[in-house]
Amino acid sequence: MIKENKVSKYILYAIGEIVLVVIGILIALQINNTNEARKQRVEELHYLKNLKTDLQLNIAHIDNYLGTREKAIASANTVIEHYEGKPVEDLEVFNVHTVNVYTWQKFSQINNTFQELINSGKLALISNDSIKGLLLNIESLYKSLKDEEAHFRYDAETLLYEPQYEMMDMNPIVQNYLYQVSNGAAGQRRKLSEEEFSNLLKDTKQKNGFVMAVYEFTVMNQQFNGMKTMCQQLIELIDKEIAKDD
């Protein structure tokens, strides 16, 4: 072709071949990118559905804790009333109220999928920034709640447990409590010491423990309600995101 002075045609032909090759490569890359994006979307939807399941379980978990803490707050307020002069008419009922406060439990949120996303470095799979933001906000609130919980644990050990262990025989207290709350199915109906409970009601340190229980359980319940609201908002966002692929 060169010998026949057809250089321009040869160049055009070569360029055409190059263009076709480039187009072929671009098409292949596009197909590969599309397939990869599809795979990532499938994985994202899998995580979103698991997040929703965790959130639903967490809401039920929070509701249970809210009920338990509200019961403890009511019991603590009742005990404080007796510290401030209200006569104790039924020692067994009073005992139940005190132990309702003593037997508080730690809260652990259900966030297995979020932890998996963080530990695997796959949080970036979640394409919706609002969903990622709420997930991180819930985690931040949870840390604040755990700080408040640790604060109460210190107060409980210092103001409630230590003085009570020194002042009172815990066996009849525990046995009678179990008997009362289980309607006789557990524990034993034991005679409680009026003298020990009278001394309890003279101990300002323990009274302050019940006061702090009311305050700190109330703060934690506010945090629980905030977390519950965030979980509900997050479920709505996840439902909308999942619906895009329906």
| pLDDT digits 0-9 by tens, 149-168 | 999 999 999 999 999 999 99
Give me 48's structure tokens.
Answer: 């979103």
Neighbours of 222 (CB within 10 A): 12
Q: Determine contact, residues 51/238, Cβ cutoff 8 Å.
A: yes
User: b/e for 126-158, b at 16 or more Cβ within 10 A?
Assistant: beeeebeebbeebeebbeebbeebeebeebbee
Q: How many domains does the chain have?
A: 1
The answer to whether position 49 is within a domain reads: yes
The answer to whether position 20 is within a domain reads: no
The answer to whether position 154 is within a domain reads: yes
Q: CA 232, 234, 236, 242: dihedral to nearest 10 degrees?
A: -140
Neighbours of 79 (CB within 10 A): 26
Which candidate, 157, 146, 140, places its Cα nearest to that of 230?
A: 140
The answer to whether position 31 is within a domain reads: no
The answer to whether position 16 is within a domain reads: no
Q: What pLDDT is attached to residue 6?
A: 60
Give me 163's structure tokens.
Answer: 């003085």
Residue 23 identity: I
Q: Kindly report the backbone phi and psi dihedral angles of residue 112, in degrees, each rounded to the nearest multiple of 5, phi listed first.
A: -60, -40
Give me 27's structure tokens.
Answer: 């098409």
pLDDT tens string 36-66: 778 888 999 999 999 999 999 999 999 999 9
The answer to whether position 186 is within a domain reads: yes
Q: How far apart are CA 199 and CA 167, in angstroms?
A: 8
HSE-up of residue 74 (Cα within 13 Å, Cβ side): 7
Q: How far apart are CA 242 and CA 234, in angstroms?
A: 12
Q: Determine contact, residues 149/108, Cβ cutoff 8 Å.
A: no
Give me 80's structure tokens.
Answer: 């404080």
Q: Encode the chain (246 residues) as per-residue pLDDT tens digits.
A: 444 556 666 766 777 778 787 887 888 788 777 777 788 889 999 999 999 999 999 999 999 999 999 999 999 999 999 999 999 999 999 999 999 999 988 999 999 999 999 999 999 999 999 999 999 999 999 999 999 999 999 999 999 999 999 999 999 999 999 999 999 999 899 999 999 999 999 999 999 999 999 999 999 999 999 999 999 999 999 999 999 887
Q: What pLDDT is attached to residue 109?
A: 93
The answer to whether position 132 is within a domain reads: yes
Domain that residue 236 falls in: 40-243
The answer to whether position 34 is within a domain reads: no
